[in-house]
Chains A and B, each alone.
Chain A
Amino acid sequence: MSGPAPAAATHRGVERVLRAIAGALAAIGALSLAGIFVLVFASVLMRYVWGQPFNFTEELSGLLMTLAVFTLLPATVLKEVHIRVTVLSGLTQGALQRSVFLAGQFILLAFCVLFVREAWAITEFTYTLNLKSEQSRLPLAPFLMLATAGMGLAGVAGLWRTLRPMAPQAEDGVHP
């Protein structure tokens, strides 16, 4: 026999799993940003101290930046730390407020679905042709795959928030 308690346990379980995946991706994002810093600083040192600059700094930094943006996205969607215009939702109450919220979430989901559909086509094309960056010949497909997956997971996080809206937890911040 299933009741409210098992349902709540399932919800907590899903929340935990999503937070763990989003957290792992966010860690990749934070490491990517740290990587940009280390790479650029090392490149400056190599150029001015040893006179031998890296030839891959600009391209790898750009790819790490792309990676960071998309891998950080699911955690921020899950923790609802995004910029929103809340004028309308602030003026409404009850069922109307819920409808406005659902409309907003639908926009997020529609955006994620369309983005993933188009990004996947680009990723597939890049993978099939084994496209590489112009100068340093870095393979582009892995970065695009992770970026597409990040946006997909952001959509899943948004869907979960739509079905199961929860108050932000203690560690969740507000947007800057």
Chain B
Amino acid sequence: MIWAALGALLSLTVLTGAMLGAALGLTGFAILHFFAGGSMRLGVQAVFNVLGEFTLTSIPLFILLGDVLVASGLAGGIYKALSPLFARLRGGLLHTNIAVCTVFGAVSGSSMSVSAAVGSVAYPELIGRGYDKRMVVGSLAGGGTLGLLIPPSLSLLIYGALTDTSIGKLFLAGVVPGLMMALLFMIYIEIKARRHPGLVPAEAPLPWSQTLRATLAVWPILVLILAVLGSLFLGIATPTESAAVGVAAAALLGFTMGDLTLARLMQTFVNSARTFAVIAFVFLGAVILAQSISVLQLPQKLLEGISSVGLSPLLMLGVVVLIYLLLGMIFDGLSMMVMTLPVVFPLLTGLGYDAVWLGVVITIMVEVGMLTPPVGMNLFVLVGISKHQVNLAQASIGALPYWLLLMLGLVLLTAMPGIATWLPSLSYK
């Protein structure tokens, strides 16, 4: 009865096109009112309690960090620095797209920030050189997803805050899978470029001395990565503190080496606040829904049901992945994660899956959602950057190989959980 009510209420409220936060929150209120003795106040109290948590304050700061980097125009410098190195490979500057997204991912927590920052520099450059449009957009959309997996990651932060899992462990767990995905993307690009030379013009390689000299220009961003991730992993700073240090360092770099001005920095604060408000409203609604689900102990009941039916944990994981794939078609990735975590997390950890590993797996599913039309946010960003020279269908086809590679990454991660859990196990004993 309660499951039918929950499903019907969620479908009804979400499909009307109501603001997602309100739809989730009202569903939570209804569940609390009709099934938990009218205890709606518990939902509001949970919102005030969760929003007051210090760890959560790192979310707007990491959004700000990404936006300051974009406003500073530092992506152009990094792109120029890494281009000569990757021009030596047959995939040429398509590899640079992935490499720069990887580096940018290590300072920005948002997939869309990375796609926007790297895409705005790379798209006109590569189209001007005669690269295939679909290949370019695909590599940028796929590369952009690395922003969510490679720490700092908004997805892992929100996951950690909602499930009370160590953010430090989650960030460490994202490193190897993030690098693995970058490598898989590059292998695909190289194979595709060798098989279809017409899609990728041959780049003239610079002498090694010039290549190395150019690559050294990437040092400011390495300092930034060290400031943000180094302080966090060494235990010197909390996630919020490392984000604040990162914002200060990014602003300093932006003023001294980039195009950042005081007016642009002020505008960045406003833009970040707006982005944060949109995420925060969904988060607020999800907290109320989570509270209602938690009060009624629904995941525990579901777990008992699954145990009695005898579904294996692997099959259950497969069902969850399938649900995420379907939801990814109509929800943006982060919203999808926030609204499903209250059930998915206790369910899968109850079946024996590691909480940190699960955070990485769900983040990959969020990334898949970013590339799944019709609501693939990275695809939207790149269609915009291309000034509609590439439409959504073309962008989706271009991103399809990366979508498939992310699914392959998921399979590898399931077969070898150590890919995610090895690094945190070294640091947190």
Contact = CB atoms under 8 A, between A and B. Distances in A.
A30 B15 CA distance: 31
A124 to B, nearest CB: 12
Contact of A72 (B16, B54, B240, B280): B280
Interface string B228-252: 0000000011001101110110000
B19 interface: yes
A120 to B, nearest CB: 10
B16 A103 contact: yes
Interface residues of B, number: 60
A20 to B, nearest CB: 16
Residue from the set B14, B40, B276 with the largest chain A CB neighbour count within 10 Å = B276
Contact of B278 (A76, A104, A110): A76
Contacts of A14: none
A63 B53 CA distance: 9
A97 to B, nearest CB: 9
A107 B60 contact: no
Contact of A58 (B20, B54, B274, B281): B54
Tell me the dominant secondary structure on chain A's binding face: helix
Contacts of B275: 176
B26 to A, nearest CB: 4
A88 B17 CA distance: 7
Contacts of B282: 83
A48 B20 CA distance: 42
B206 interface: no
Contacts of B22: 107-108, 111-112
A101 B20 contact: no
A126 B25 CA distance: 23
B247 A114 contact: no
B365 interface: no
Contacts of B40: 114, 118
B380 to A, nearest CB: 8
B44 A107 contact: no
Of the candidates B15, B110, B277, B335, the one having the most CB atoms from chain A within 10 angstroms of its own CB is: B277
A176 B278 contact: yes
A76 B245 contact: no
Nearest to A115: B44
B48, B285, B335: which has the most chain A beta carbons within 10 Å?
B48
A155 to B, nearest CB: 10
B112 A33 contact: no
Contacts of A64: 57
A118 B274 contact: no
A112 to B, nearest CB: 7
Contacts of A29: 273, 277
B18 A33 contact: no
Contacts of B61: 36-37, 40
23 contacts: A30-B269, A37-B244, A40-B57, A40-B240, A44-B244, A63-B52, A65-B57, A68-B277, A69-B277, A69-B280, A82-B20, A82-B21, A83-B19, A83-B335, A85-B17, A88-B17, A104-B16, A104-B19, A107-B18, A119-B48, A121-B41, A122-B41, A122-B45
Interface of B: 13-23, 25-26, 29, 40-41, 43-45, 48, 51-54, 56-57, 60-61, 64, 110, 112, 236-237, 240-241, 243-245, 247-248, 269-270, 272-282, 284-285, 330-332, 335, 377
